[in-house]
Amino acid sequence: MLSNAEIGIDLGTANILVYSKSKGIIMNEPSVVAIDVNTKKVLAVGTDAKSMIGKTPGNIVAVRPLKDGVIADFDVTTEMLKHIMTSIGKKMGFSLRKPSVVVCTPSGATSVERRAIQDAVKHSGAKHVHLIEEPVAAAIGADLPVGEPVANVVVDIGGGTTEVAIISYGGVVSCNTIRVAGDKMDEDIVQHVRKAYNLLIGERTAEQIKMEVGHAPIAHDTREMEIRGRDLVTGLPKTITLQSTEVQSAIQESLLSVLEAIRSTLENCPPELSGDIVDRGVILTGGGALLNGLQQWLSEEIVVPVHIAPNPLESVAIGTGKSLSVIDKLQKAAK
Ligand SMILES: Nc1ncnc2c1ncn2[C@@H]1O[C@H](COP(=O)(O)OP(=O)(O)O)[C@@H](O)[C@H]1O
Ligand SMILES: [Mg+2]
């Protein structure tokens, strides 16, 4: 019997990753598409398209079709998926063996949208297409024992959404999604710089500031960063120096929303599982897990151990790719 390739696609709001069982992560690109508005043709996907954000001539737009955790532009998402399937097909030689694909869909997707994602992937050459819930994928990718009847708490902080989920025995026991995550923090920084310095910066600059000098609300050694933007008064380019403490207070409110989502999920946890959480703690996945000081701050606030997944940006993709065999095992166990 010919064994099919098994691949997993993490359709994230900020990054799209593809994991193959045999080759590991085979694609990791920002979820950005550049399209020609006149012809509706996709010109570039991923890094090439991201570098065009805010810099394109009128007829070309660089869009993030999954921004805000829902599929903002469905046709573009489908086009992007086709593009991705073609390029990984070239890398893997799918023309010979049709792959089984597991796609982890954004939590905000409606059932119609999920169906359409499934169809789009199928049309681009997959043999079987399965969909998986994102927190379950994140937990599998972080090597948590999702198949056992113990509480696994996953906090996935992505671009558009933060998802907090308690997973036990292969399923989601309770889950909470908020539309506050990395993108919102970038926006907070843009607003702060505009108000405090009359300086306009782009979202990519804001993201760099967050990654370099952003910090969770706990004491830290302050740092500085030089940033450039457009002066709103003179209209000319200007450079200023930003303190990490300013960035810290700019993003504080968003982080408190994340904390609140975690608290309320833990409070609604069935009592039998609460005991597990005290011992086993919470695991952070998604790019937001990498924010400076986040792990320490959260563990002080919720008073249970907080761990960061080994590769937080890759957990969902790895888990999606590995989920097929886990799903098999779970189904067998259930019989
Ligand atoms: N070192 C870092 N510090 C803070 N935020 C980060 C860091 N690295 C990545 N991020 C943020 O993580 C988010 C992307 O995470 P990801 O899990 O790929 O999102 P999604 O699953 O929605 O595509 C972005 O908002 C990005 O700015
Ligand atoms: Mg994600």
Stated as kind and residue range, the H or E segment containing 73 is none
pLDDT of residue 9: 93
Which atom of ligand 1 lies at the shortest distance from residue 157's CA?
A: 17
End-to-end CA distance of the chain: give it in Å, rounded: 25
User: Are 6-137+316-334 and 144-180+254-312 equal in CATH topology?
Assistant: yes
How far is the C-alpha of 15 from the C-alpha of 275, rounded, in Å? 35
pLDDT of residue 124: 75
Please give the backbone phi and psi of residue 248, each rounded to the nearest 5 degrees, phi first. Answer: -55, -50
> Which residue has the CA at smallest separation from atom 19 of ligand 1?
158
pLDDT of residue 253: 98
> Which residue has the CA at smallest separation from atom 18 of ligand 1?
15
For the chain, the maximum distance between any two Cα atoms, rounded to a whole number of angstroms, is: 71
Q: From 64, 211, 292, give the residue whose CB has the most ligand 1 atoms within 8 Å, as the site to mutate.
A: 211
Stated as kind and residue range, the H or E segment containing 280 is helix 271-280
pLDDT of residue 325: 77
How many C-beta neighbours within 10 Å does residue 329 have? 12
Which ligand approaches the C-alpha of residue 294 most closely? 1
User: Which residues fall inside 5 Å of ion ligand 2, going by CB?
Assistant: 12, 158, 316
SS3 category, 303: coil
Q: Is the CB of 182 under 6 A from ligand 1?
A: yes
Which atom of ligand 1 lies at the shortest distance from residue 313's CA?
A: 17
pLDDT of residue 96: 46
**Which CATH number among 3.90.640.10, 3.30.750.24, 3.40.50.1820, 3.40.50.300 corresponds to the domain 182-251?**
3.90.640.10
Second-level CATH architecture of 6-137+316-334: 2-Layer Sandwich (3.30)
Stated as kind and residue range, the H or E segment containing 38 is none
SS3 category, 285: strand
Question: Is 15 part of any known ligand binding site?
Answer: yes
Q: Output the CA 287–ligand 2 centroid distance in Å.
A: 8
46 with 16: CB under 8 angstroms? Answer: yes
80 with 33: CB under 8 angstroms? Answer: yes
pLDDT tens digit sequence for 248-286: 999 999 999 999 999 999 998 889 899 999 999 999 999
pLDDT of residue 1: 35
For the chain, the structural domain boundaries read 6-137+316-334, 144-180+254-312, 182-251
Given CATH 3.40.50.1240, say whether it is the number of domain 144-180+254-312.
no
Question: Is 105 part of any known ligand binding site?
Answer: no
Instruction: Show the low-confidence residues of the chain (pLDDT under 70).
Output: 1-4, 68-72, 94-97, 106-108, 327-335
* CA 331 centroid distance within chain: 28
Question: Is 287 part of any known ligand binding site?
Answer: yes
pLDDT of residue 2: 43
pLDDT of residue 95: 53
How far is the C-alpha of 150 from the C-alpha of 153, rounded, in Å? 10
228 with 238: CB under 8 angstroms? Answer: yes
**b/e burial code for range 38-60 (CB count within 10 A of at least 16 → b):** eeeebbbbbeebbebbeebeeeb
pLDDT of residue 4: 62
Q: Is the CB of 135 under 6 A from ligand 1?
A: no
Q: Is the CB of 158 under 6 A from ligand 1?
A: yes
Q: Is the CB of 290 under 6 A from ligand 1?
A: yes
Q: Tell me the whole-structure pTM to 2 decimals.
A: 0.91
